[in-house]
Structure 1
Amino acid sequence: MEKDALYQRIAQTIAWQIKKGVWKIGEKLPSLRTISNENGVSLNTAIQAYYELEKDGFIVSRPKSGYIVSYRPTRLSAPVTTQPAVKFEVEEVADLIAEVYSSLEIADKSITRFSLGMPEDVLLPIAKLNKELIRAMRSLPGNGTRYDETQGNLRLRKDIARFTYCWNGNLTEDDIVTTAGVTNAIALALSVTTKKGDTIAVESPVYFGILQLANSLGLRVLELPTNPATGVDPDALKKVLPQINVCLFISNFSNPMGSCMPDEHKKRIVAMLAEHNIPLIEDDLYGDVFFGSSRPKPCKAFDESGLVLWCGAVSKTLAPGYRVGWIAPGRFKDAIIRQKNIHLISTPALNQEAVANFMENDRYENHLRKLRHELHTNSLHFTQSITNYFPEETKIVTPQGGFMLWVELDKKIDTTKLYYKAMQRNISIAPGRMFTLQDQYNNCMRLSYGQRWSPVIEERLMLLGTIIKESL
């Protein structure tokens, strides 16, 4: 308790000084060793004090530069709970999605890609993964050329099951089926829980890939009111239960809004759906990228009836191109395995084995710790730059985790038109209209902070702010 009081006292003192302007934004704070010596505390206590300041948005760490003051009282407000119409629409903006996510854009290094929600290569342990691929090639039967069992790599399934200890998953390797990424997991889940013409309930806004997938399967989509901080409104869901067959939610750090359901909402929603025998497909792709003290639980943690199909992957944390994902499908496991056998036969043996190798010996957790730290720092920089350079009417959702920043602009701004204007200056954004089947979110956009922060990124955000102001 005394040690806790020491680091809290140091953090509170520095925070007070920053608020009073003793330390100004952009200024470098004393080194950890200086804080340790001047306060007569251990280095660990000084580190904890700075961690608290960083967590609360007062400072950010910069490689080889130390800790820099980032605090400025924000003048930006947050968006309110969305209110999509309770109706079924099929107006998918496929051409816009294809434009934003064209392969040419991904390959062109001159474009600043705020549109793509994935980590930059420099944030990934690529050299270590390369070694694990070689190791996998040497250790697997047929050097990795043979089919794996349909349920998936046993070692990987064991590692995934062990990793759920942090949210009391109570899963074993037998409960998990590996997939070719999380989209494949969701597609398999939809194939065994729905039929053409069924209705699925989703957040609003929602990841456009889910809308495209539902449309390809002939499903109707019902968009639900969603709070930027707490996610889907349980009361709104309760009202439409008689109309729906399946729910599909991104419960932790949703894409694109970044909301995270509180445990009480998750527990209530799981119980409500179980009472009506409605399956819940849970996309938990971003759950490991949290900025708080602990990983948020998925809805699966509250599942007692086997109706929650928990989907995950390493696509956003380790290796996007490996397409290594999984699903814990509860009572639907046998049906999922049958569908996987029909569509895939098996998932790539080499990629699964390499990821399984990396997940052992705490290497994955150590990597996640560094990734979370860098992304949190990025989110603070983005928030500050938007405060500095965007119009005063701008509203943003403060990220609690994940890669996404949801930005709401003045109603006069059409972010689809803004996309084309920004692309003329080699800046790519994701217009809000991509994330709904209704005519809404036209003045919103999603920005990704998955790239390492640099003066160039700040300059590009400043330029984007200028383009927005010119559009008013």
Structure 2
Amino acid sequence: MKTVTFLYEKIAADFSRQMINGLLLANDQLPSIRSICSSYQVSMSTALKAYHILESQGLIHSKPQSGYFVNPVRKLPALPNVSVPSPNMGNEDPSALVSKVYKAVNSGKVMFSLGVPSKAYLPLAKLNKLVCKTVWQLEDHASGYENLNGSTNLRRQIARISYQWGGQLREDEILPTAGCTAAMAHCFMALTEKGDTIVVESPIYFGILQLAKSLGLNILELPSHPQTGIDLEALTKSLQTNKVKLCLLVPNFSNPMGGTMPVEHKKEVVRLMEHYDIPLVENDMYSDLYFGQERPVNCKVFDESGLVLLCSSVSKTLAPGYRVGWLTPGKFAEKISRVKFSNTISSSRLTQEVVASFLEKGRYEQHLKTLRRTLHFNSLRYVEAIEKYFPDDVKVSRPDGGFMLWIELAKQINTADLYDKAIKLNISIAPGRMFTLQNQFNNCMRLSYGLPWNESAHQAIKTIGALL
């Protein structure tokens, strides 16, 4: 089932994709309002709303008595290369670099390194009101333990929303957790033992690497494409030649590359997991932050054997500090429930109920529509500034959602050194070496466009370019 989209959003998305794909060029005139009304069978107000969205994103401008025209957009940089990790297990732990970057987290700095959206984009006032209301509504004022299975209302709302992307989950298939990392940790602890091998994309979010290493797991990093995700041929070969206990993938808007696996690739991944009887932990943190007309489907949609464990949270979309996440344990429900009980007993009752209420009232989808539009606008502005101020040979990913850019620079540039220089100027980046256990990506970095596009961000990008 597709996510409900207003007609004016569909029209705006159609023209946006035409510009990105080069079908509409700088200074081209767009169809008149009357033409839009005729072509799409919509009212004049709907057509105007569509053009107003494109104007707000900086993609078009109007000329009195002449109509609407495409804004000049600088040439897009080339895409980063497909990653080529070593077929051997990596063991070069980036923890020291990760700690250095995150110890410098400070509100006075331009934090391009942070993997969360700006608090300016979060509905904090509404959430605060819900917190107060929920405390008084709960029988014990939220002072007691939540039951092991988590909030019934939260599970019901997550199940309801899953119908929008074809998940069709039941509330008894959902286990709330203290964030997405906790969800993945429960999966790892229930399904692997020290010394087991797991497969991941390369590069991959450093938190996943640190979690797996802390449990004594061997990590096999596989080649990934910046637009289509993990290399299926490499995945197939790894399953044939290695004793793999578990796979962890981020199929939609991966962190840090931003790629999204095509639907056929997702189907094939699930088929491979079923053929080799290997669990797939699907990290689904970013799927709600799509820029197109509909939310991308998950691997879970094609799961008929219970081998796909979907892990997600509201940390990247609503409230990072609430630590409200969930997973679908599939055929491993009993094992994972035992692990959760032995490690956390229960999750925060108050924040679960607040999030459930926010989802229940339809506020979440309204919030997401605004957030998606803002992040899409940011992505265009950030890429344009990088192309303008960075060296000519820079390569930048082109995600269709989320809020991460993967940037590849000339081989001689070391982004860990660049970080040391930039942080002295109150600018924080995430060096590429953080996202692997191998000696690679030293000339890459992850940059978040979850920060508002303003003069501060503009000058920070310009400063990084000057340092380069």
**Residues 32 and 271 of structure 1: is their aligned pair in 2 closer, same or farther, counting only changes over 3 Å?**
same
**Residues 268 and 416 of structure 1: is their aligned pair in 2 closer, same or farther, counting only changes over 3 Å?**
same
For residue 238 of structure 1, what is the aligned residue in structure 2? 236
Tell me how far 1:126 sits from its aligned partner. Answer: 0.3
Which of 194, 197, 212 is residue 195 of structure 2 equivalent to? 197
Tell me how far 1:346 sits from its aligned partner. Answer: 0.6
Could you list the runs of 5+ residues in structure 2 that have no partner in the other structure?
1-6, 63-67
Tell me how far 1:159 sits from its aligned partner. Answer: 0.3
For residue 388 of structure 1, what is the aligned residue in structure 2? 388
For residue 131 of structure 1, what is the aligned residue in structure 2? 129
For residue 47 of structure 2, what is the aligned residue in structure 1? 45
Tell me how far 1:7 sits from its aligned partner. Answer: 6.3
Contact 1:32 1:43 in 2 (8 A): no
TM-score of the pair, normalised by structure 2: 0.89
SS of 1:391's equivalent in the other structure is coil
Which of 110, 113, 129 is residue 112 of structure 1 equivalent to? 110
**Residues 264 and 52 of structure 1: is their aligned pair in 2 closer, same or farther, counting only changes over 3 Å?**
farther
For residue 408 of structure 1, what is the aligned residue in structure 2? 408
Contact 2:253 2:259 in 1 (8 A): yes
Please give the residue correspondences for 1:228-267 in structure 2 after superposition, counting only pairs within 5 Å.
228-242=226-240, 243=242, 244-267=244-267
Could you list the runs of 5+ residues in structure 1 that have no partner in the other structure?
24-28, 62-66
> How many pairs were matched up?
445
- Separation (CA, whole Å) in 1 of partners of 2:322 and 2:48: 39
**Residues 68 and 213 of structure 1: is their aligned pair in 2 closer, same or farther, counting only changes over 3 Å?**
farther
- Separation (CA, whole Å) in 1 of partners of 2:382 and 2:307: 38
What letter corresponds to residue 202 of structure 1 in structure 2? V
For residue 429 of structure 2, what is the aligned residue in structure 1? 429
For residue 293 of structure 1, what is the aligned residue in structure 2? 293
**Residues 449 and 7 of structure 1: is their aligned pair in 2 closer, same or farther, counting only changes over 3 Å?**
closer
- Separation (CA, whole Å) in 1 of partners of 2:69 and 2:201: 37
Q: Give % identity.
A: 46
Which of 210, 213, 225 is residue 212 of structure 1 equivalent to? 210
**Residues 71 and 152 of structure 1: is their aligned pair in 2 closer, same or farther, counting only changes over 3 Å?**
farther
Deviations 1:101-144 (A, max 9, x none): 11xx33x3321000001011110000100111111111112100
Contact 2:419 2:429 in 1 (8 A): yes
Please give the residue correspondences for 1:5-404 in structure 2 after superposition, counting only pairs within 5 Å.
19-21=25-27, 42-49=44-51, 51=53, 58-59=59-60, 71-102=72-103, 105-106=104-105, 108-242=106-240, 243=242, 244-404=244-404
- Separation (CA, whole Å) in 1 of partners of 2:301 and 2:390: 40
Tell me how far 1:46 sits from its aligned partner. Answer: 2.4
Contact 2:263 2:297 in 1 (8 A): yes
Deviations 1:433-463 (A, max 9, x none): 0000000000000000111111221111111
Contact 1:113 1:427 in 2 (8 A): yes
Tell me how far 1:334 sits from its aligned partner. Answer: 1.3
Tell me how far 1:47 sits from its aligned partner. Answer: 2.3
**Structure 1 vs Structure 2 CA RMSD:** 2.8
**Residues 49 and 420 of structure 1: is their aligned pair in 2 closer, same or farther, counting only changes over 3 Å?**
same
Contact 1:60 1:377 in 2 (8 A): no
- Separation (CA, whole Å) in 2 of partners of 1:158 and 1:285: 19
- Separation (CA, whole Å) in 1 of partners of 2:288 and 2:433: 27
Q: Which moved more, 1:303-312 or 1:42-51?
A: 42-51
- Separation (CA, whole Å) in 2 of partners of 1:447 and 1:348: 31
What letter corresponds to residue 269 of structure 1 in structure 2? V
**Residues 219 and 17 of structure 1: is their aligned pair in 2 closer, same or farther, counting only changes over 3 Å?**
closer
SS of 2:140's equivalent in the other structure is helix
